[in-house]
Chains A and B, each alone.
Chain A
Amino acid sequence: MNSRFFFAVSFIVFLTGCENERTIDQVQIIESIGYDQHEDEIKGTAIYPTFKEKGQTKLNILTTKSPSYDDILPRLNTKSAHSIEIGQLRLVLFGKKFAEQGINPVIESLKRDPIVGSRVQLGIAEHTAEDILISGEHTNFPFHLSEKINQNIQNGKLPKMNLHLFLENFYDKGKDPYLPYFTIEEGRAHINGLALFKNGKYINHISLNQSFIVKMLIDGAKNGRYYIKINENKKDGFISLKNLDAKAHYTISQIGQVPNISIDLTMNTQIKDVPPWLNVTVNKDILKIENVLNKHFNEEVQQLISLFQEYQVDPIGFGEMVRAKSRKWNYSRFQDMYPHLKTTVNTKVNIIQIGVGE
């Protein structure tokens, strides 16, 4: 028994020489990576932080070109003193051109790699991913792009998203994925809307305000500021409101033929600013504002849904809702039906807070 034991122990000792050690200071930890289409080749841009001393964090950029996207990481490895590791990857950015070709292969490999977390954020860059990544180099704040997305999901107008949720929408036939859309504004990367996908290919993007409506329709928003331009009796101005709690409720009828979906959107809001000709302490004016908001949101939702129908994308997941109610759901049949889907929208905006003061 003893000799057998030592035999086993010696195996442990000798075989572990082959184990892949990745000591934290001996690896190049990539935090964001971007893919762009450059003529026939794919250009990969990676950012890795180096932590030398406290307060001296630096972001560094590595770029390489290759005909195939799988070759990007091995090629980056040849440019680095330590091995390139993607275990702390937080953002994968795609250039618009690359995304138009389809991001499926990248998604497939990300999904299969156990080292990549499911909370990785994905994004689309207006011109090239490289621009967006390089624009953040001087900030020397690691993970700032992915944090930007997370922060805007928490407090801003983006619906909940990450790799995990993207995959859910990606593989769900009754739903289409969406990603944040980055542009550059005065030299800084800036989230400027929501990119819409169909079968892994970029279709178009919508504005940030529309993204907020998508957020309310999908998750029900808890946060987010919103501006509305109003025009009444030839006086115009802006109403600024903060959303406190929004919920959408869907009722589906006529499943057999073309379904009719009615959307009840309830919003509890807080009024931040109103034009001087409106008085928020007067009940009459509050009702007036509520009516204005109701009308505005109703139109916005209607418009947005018809826009989605025009693009043939379904980020809200009407297909999924119908499928849940019907036994005879069929993907191609629903595709044909989708542009003719009837929707009725009822919005109910409650102003529950108007601020304190005289």
Chain B
Amino acid sequence: MSFKQRFFKKKIEKQAIGPQDINHLFTKAKKSSDFRQLSLINKTGHFILSYYNTLIDLEQFQCKVLYAFQEPSFNIGHIKNIEDIRNTIPIEDILITDNIEVIESKFLKGYAILQMKENDYKCALINLANDKVGLREQNNVENEFSVIGPQIGFVENVDINIHLLRQQISTPNLIIQDIHIGSMSHTKVIIAYIEGITNEQHIQTMTQRLQNIDFDVVFDSSQLHQIITDNSLTPFPLLLSTERIDRTVFALISGQVAVFSNGSAYAVTGPSTLLDFFVSPEDYYLPWIIASFFRLIRIFSVFFSVFATSIYIAVLTYHYEMIPRVLLGPLIFSRNNVPFTPLLEVLFLELTIELLREAGARLPTKVGQTLGIVGGIVIGQASVEAALTSNVLLIIVALSALASFTTPIYKMSNTIRFLRFPLIILASIWGGLGIVLGISFLIVHLTRLESLGTPYTVPLYPFRRKDFADSIIRSSYNATSKRPSYLRPRSLWRYHPSDQIKKKNDFDD
């Protein structure tokens, strides 16, 4: 099949079945029982209002629309034209159009259609939408908890999210653009950035990728994340998704772009780098020395989590000569009655831990806790007693599972837990050589990744010395006054730290 044929074929398939005219729309809608159509005055065929009663706010409908037509001083003679509706109904968002596509999408989002006469193509769309119904009210951070700092997170309503964002960034430079994505859902997706800081290229890339999306229903922003990601053949999340406001605001002021999608409590920010995923907002609320220490621990725990079990396999299967003299005894007697090879032993325990995590995540919180205790203590202890696994391995696996949960971003901690398995297989095949091969593959893969066209491993590779101030360690606020240069921000300085002496001396004050 030639290219041209293929191209045209695609175009034909893509054509959506849209409504021909407004009557067609109504005949379809009438099949649903929640569709209502009534005349506002006692003259049939005039001032026909059509709406889905499940989508509109009935109180508003009664107080502002019905009342306007039924109050004693109402004179039908004032409305000669459809445009005059604006003066009668005290609602700001009234749209007058004859574009059937607009009508249909607004109608399905909770607008009521008002026609002067039956079969009028030009009609008024009155916003009676009630989009807060059914959404959760409380917006505590649930999954990215931090002890210090604000506990407010995003909710499923995108307007509230933007409101929360505007509360923190009060500048007209914060630009909000919407796109509607989803042939079925017409989900409102918002791109936020700060003009004068964010590089236009990032905005353009993000906008273009979002606009090119053809999808039916957008359930969550993480779906958008998957579709617009630079490389879908990677276990690494290339954009950062967070439910924390402070994180999103920090991304915006550093010169990143944020994407919100209606119905999702997660914002997607990008371009992000590998190290961004190991940064916790708490780092910025603690003194920098302590914060740096904990950040280092977090980064160490990643390495531990990825390599601990594979090194265990490699050493126990191939490299017994490198075991220190004092460890030889404990390792041998803990493995003494275990009938499996180290590989099976490790896989058994790793899968047990994954099962516990998966089951704990699916179950309600209260049951989940019990399950954690039962699983962790009883199964762990019992499998050692039954000599299915060794004591030492139980400790290593539990520690590495624990270490993987120190990563603040859930998607990244999943990746880390996933990365273990190929390394375990490699270690069981080739021992230490296998681990080295795995590491080499991982490094090559990581350095080739890009996030919105920006290298993923910056500032490590390509090396950017100046951006190290806030990477592996979190330097003091004096040193982090510049935005990261790899984001190519339009203005470099975040703030200007005073050159005063570091120790504050209240003697002079």
Contacts and interface: CB of A to CB of B under 8 A. Distances in A.
Interface of A: 12-13, 16, 19, 21-25, 27, 29, 49, 51-54, 57, 85, 87-88, 90, 115, 117, 142-143
Interface in B316-334: 316-318, 320-321, 323, 325, 328-333
Contacts of B330: 51, 54
B321 A117 contact: yes
Contacts of A57: 329
A251 B321 CA distance: 43
Contact of B333 (A12, A52, A87): A52
B316 A23 contact: yes
Contacts of B341: 21, 23
B318 A22 contact: yes
Given A22-B318, A52-B333, A142-B329, 17 more contacts: A12-B429, A16-B430, A21-B318, A22-B320, A23-B316, A23-B317, A23-B342, A24-B323, A24-B332, A29-B320, A51-B328, A54-B330, A88-B325, A88-B328, A90-B325, A115-B321, A142-B325
Contacts of B440: none
B323 A51 contact: no
A49 B336 CA distance: 13
Q: Which 5 A-B pairs have the closest CB atoms?
A: A87-B321, A51-B333, A51-B332, A25-B335, A24-B320
B308 to A, nearest CB: 17
Contact of B321 (A19, A51, A52, A88): A88
Contacts, number: 62
Contacts of A24: 315-317, 320, 323, 331-332, 335
B436 to A, nearest CB: 15
A52 B330 CA distance: 10
22 contacts: A12-B429, A13-B429, A21-B341, A22-B317, A22-B320, A23-B341, A24-B316, A24-B332, A25-B338, A27-B320, A29-B320, A49-B328, A49-B329, A51-B329, A51-B330, A51-B333, A51-B336, A52-B336, A54-B330, A85-B320, A87-B321, A88-B320
A13 B425 CA distance: 11
Contacts of A52: 333, 336
Interface in B195-241: none
Contact of A21 (B317, B331, B335): B317
A57 B329 CA distance: 8
A29 B328 contact: yes
A115 B319 CA distance: 9
Nearest to B324: A88
Given A23-B341, A52-B336, A16 B318 contact: no
Interface in B173-210: none
A53 B172 CA distance: 72
A25 B336 contact: yes
A16 B430 CA distance: 8
B227 to A, nearest CB: 25
Nearest to B322: A87
A22 B341 CA distance: 11
A13 B316 CA distance: 20
Contacts of B323: 24, 88
Contacts of A54: 330, 333
B349 to A, nearest CB: 17
Contacts of A143: 325
Contacts of A87: 320-321
B342 to A, nearest CB: 6
Nearest to A15: B429
A50 to B, nearest CB: 8
A280 B286 CA distance: 58
Contacts of B328: 29, 49, 51, 88, 142
Interface in B131-181: none
Nearest to A16: B429
A88 B315 CA distance: 13
Nearest to A54: B333
A27 to B, nearest CB: 6
A22 B332 CA distance: 13
A29 B436 CA distance: 26
Contacts of B320: 22, 24, 27, 29, 85, 87-88
A19 B433 CA distance: 12
A16 to B, nearest CB: 5
Contacts of B333: 51-54
Contacts of B331: 24
Given A12-B429, A16-B429, A16-B430, A25 B332 contact: yes
A35 B430 CA distance: 35
Contacts of B317: 21-24
For A13, A22, A23, which residue has the most chain B Cβ atoms within 10 angstroms? A23
A24 B332 CA distance: 7
A51 B337 CA distance: 11
A25 B323 CA distance: 13
Contacts of B321: 85, 87-88, 115, 117
A305 to B, nearest CB: 37
A117 B324 CA distance: 12
B440 to A, nearest CB: 15
For B332, B336, B430, which residue has the most chain A Cβ atoms within 10 angstroms? B332
B429 A53 contact: no
Nearest to A23: B317
Nearest to A115: B321
Interface in B419-474: 429-430
Contacts of B336: 25, 51-53
Contacts of B318: 21-22
A162 to B, nearest CB: 14
A90 B325 CA distance: 9
Contacts of A85: 320-321
Nearest to B325: A143
A22 B139 CA distance: 56
Interface in B37-64: none
For A22, A24, A117, A143, which residue has the most chain B Cβ atoms within 10 angstroms? A24
A14 to B, nearest CB: 11
Contacts of A12: 429
Contacts of A13: 429
A143 B324 CA distance: 12
Contacts of B316: 23-24
B260 to A, nearest CB: 39
Contacts of B342: 23
A143 B341 CA distance: 27
Contacts of B429: 12-13, 16, 19
Contacts of B315: 24
A316 to B, nearest CB: 31
For A22, A117, A142, which residue has the most chain B Cβ atoms within 10 angstroms? A22
A67 B341 CA distance: 38
A57 B332 CA distance: 10
A85 B322 CA distance: 13
A49 B326 CA distance: 13
A191 to B, nearest CB: 19
B328 to A, nearest CB: 7
